[in-house]
């Protein structure tokens, strides 16, 4: 087959120009052309936005190193997404994205200890004696959730998801007057590092004793959330787990207490903090 | 059986069955409960590592 001559190319170009002119003169064909352009634009926008919606901010956080046969306190610093955008954000799907060793089949279900490699526990706040609950592999993982993670293999932990709306308020947690209820496992709900302990807000109920008709005592409350340094009910110390034991940091001593994405730490109420009950901790994005 | 009875026991060694470790495990009636016990202990240890996490820090 011989190469097209220069005049042939010129003729083809003229033909194309005539064809395009015919389309532009015909309203129906012009409408069809517009629809094609709109479809192409929509396709390009979807392609441009989809990776951002899926990758999002959580993947930009520093991964937490997991050491074999050690416990780690982990957190969810975003709105979690499963292994695909349509997969439910449950334990199996979210943590499989984090680490290929964390498969559903390898998750400890109570009977497969011989083959299991990992498990997740959460703190259950009952108000009468908080305790741990082992999560099922199908349980949903929550934004700002704080969990204990155990693995038998080395690896890393980092969650996939979209940015957490600010401000974020936790569900009702612990931090009550006595017993193990004084401890709340808290995690940075944002992928931003760090979230200072002093930036958390606690809706402290402040007792107030007054009188009605000079005889009746009553109490009222102050629902305005306050930071830990502005009340005497929250301990100034935060406890972290290093894989083997706890260490603490405080509100004032350097390095000050902070919450790093992907990790969790213990917040404690002071003893006899009658004003503390079912805390909902609020934090703005740093 | 006391210490003095050992020579007498040794006299029967020739006629006694082979008490090697392998033969003991395979023929002794103790194997009926020894092996399953070891298996249960092993699985309990493996299961325990996935058990409840460390408690919160410090005194309540």
Q: How confident is the model at residue A117 (pLDDT cuts 50, 70, 90)?
A: very high
Q: Which residues pair with A133 in a beta bridge?
A: A122
- Given pLDDT bands bounded at 50, 70 and 90, which one contains residue A244? very high
Indicate the residue of B43, B47, B56 with minimum beta-carbon distance to A266: B56
Gap between the Cα atoms of A97 and A156, Å rounded: 11
- pLDDT of A100 reads 82
Average pLDDT over residues A141-162: 93
Picking from A241, A258, A264, A78, the residue whose alpha carbon sits closest to that of residue A159 is A78
User: What is the value of ipTM here, to two decimals?
Assistant: 0.71
Q: Which residue does chain B place closest to A107, by CA atoms? A: B50
pLDDT of residue A167: 94
**Chain B environment of A242 (Cβ under 8 Å):** none
In the three-class reduction of DSSP (H, G, I as helix; E, B as strand; rest coil), residue A93 is classed as: helix
Is the pLDDT assigned to residue A56 strictly greater than 70? no
Interhelix angle A6-25/A27-55, rounded to 10 degrees, is: 100
**Residue-level pLDDT at B1:** 43
Residue A160 is predicted with a pLDDT of 85
pLDDT of residue B18: 60
Q: Is A183 close to B56, i.e. CB distance below 8 A?
A: yes
**Residue A4 pLDDT exceeds 90:** no
Specify whether the CB–CB gap between A270 and A235 falls below 8 A.
yes
> In the predicted model, is pLDDT for residue A105 greater than 70?
yes
pLDDT on residue A47: 40
The whole-number pLDDT of residue B3 equals 45
The answer to whether residue A272 neighbours chain B at the CB level (below 8 Å) is: no
Chain A and chain B share a number of CB contacts under 8 A equal to 47
Nearest-Å Rg of the Cα atoms of chain A is 28
Write down the pLDDT at residue A213: 42
Interatomic CA distance for residues B28 and B19, integer angstroms: 9
- Hey, are the CB atoms on A183 and B50 less than 8 Å from each other? no
More confident residue, A111 or A31: A111
The Cα A93–Cα A135 span in angstroms is 13
Mean pLDDT of A95-110: 88
The DSSP annotation for A210-254 comes to EEETTTEEE-----S-B-GGG-SSEEEEEEEE-SSSEEEEESSSS
Digit-coded pLDDT (tens) for A203-233: 766 554 444 444 334 444 556 788 888 877 8
Tens of pLDDT, residues B13-35: 555 656 555 555 555 566 555 55
Contact between chains at A71 and B47 (C-beta distance less than 8 A) = no
């Amino acid at each position: 087959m011989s190469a097209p001559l220069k005049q042939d190319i010129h003729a083809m170009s003229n033909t194309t120009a005539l064809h395009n002119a015919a389309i532009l003169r015909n309203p129906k064909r012009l409408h069809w052309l517009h629809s094609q352009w709109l479809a192409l634009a929509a396709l390009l926008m979807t392609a441009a936005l989809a990776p951002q919606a899926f990758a999002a901010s959580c993947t930009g956080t520093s991964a937490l190193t997991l050491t074999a046969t050690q416990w780690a306190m982990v957190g969810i610093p975003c709105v979690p997404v499963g292994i695909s955008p349509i997969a439910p954000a449950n334990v199996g799907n979210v943590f499989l994205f984090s680490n290929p060793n964390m498969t559903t089949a390898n998750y400890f279900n109570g009977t497969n200890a011989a083959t299991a490699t990992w498990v997740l526990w959460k703190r259950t706040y009952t108000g009468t004696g908080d305790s741990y609950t082992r999560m099922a592999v199908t349980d949903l993982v929550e934004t700002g959730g704080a969990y204990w993670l155990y693995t038998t293999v080395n690896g890393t932990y980092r969650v996939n998801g979209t940015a957490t709306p600010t401000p974020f308020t936790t569900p009702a947690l612990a931090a009550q007057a006595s017993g193990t209820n004084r401890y709340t496992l808290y995690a940075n709900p944002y992928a931003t590092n760090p979230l200072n302990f002093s930036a958390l807000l606690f809706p402290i109920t402040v007792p107030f004793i007054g009188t009605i008709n000079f005889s009746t005592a009553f109490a009222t409350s102050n629902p305005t959330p306050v930071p830990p340094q502005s009340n005497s009910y929250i301990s100034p110390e935060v406890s972290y787990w290093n894989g083997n034991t706890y260490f603490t940091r405080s509100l004032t001593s350097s390095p000050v207490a902070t919450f790093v994405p992907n990790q969790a730490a213990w917040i404690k109420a002071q003893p006899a903090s009658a004003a503390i009950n079912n805390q909902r901790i609020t934090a703005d994005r740093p | 059986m006391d210490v003095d009875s050992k020579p007498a026991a040794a006299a029967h060694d020739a006629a006694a069955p082979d008490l090697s470790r392998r033969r003991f495990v395979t023929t002794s009636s103790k194997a009926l409960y020894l092996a399953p016990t070891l298996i249960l202990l092993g699985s309990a240890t493996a299961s325990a590592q996935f058990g409840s996490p460390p408690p919160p820090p410090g005194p309540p």
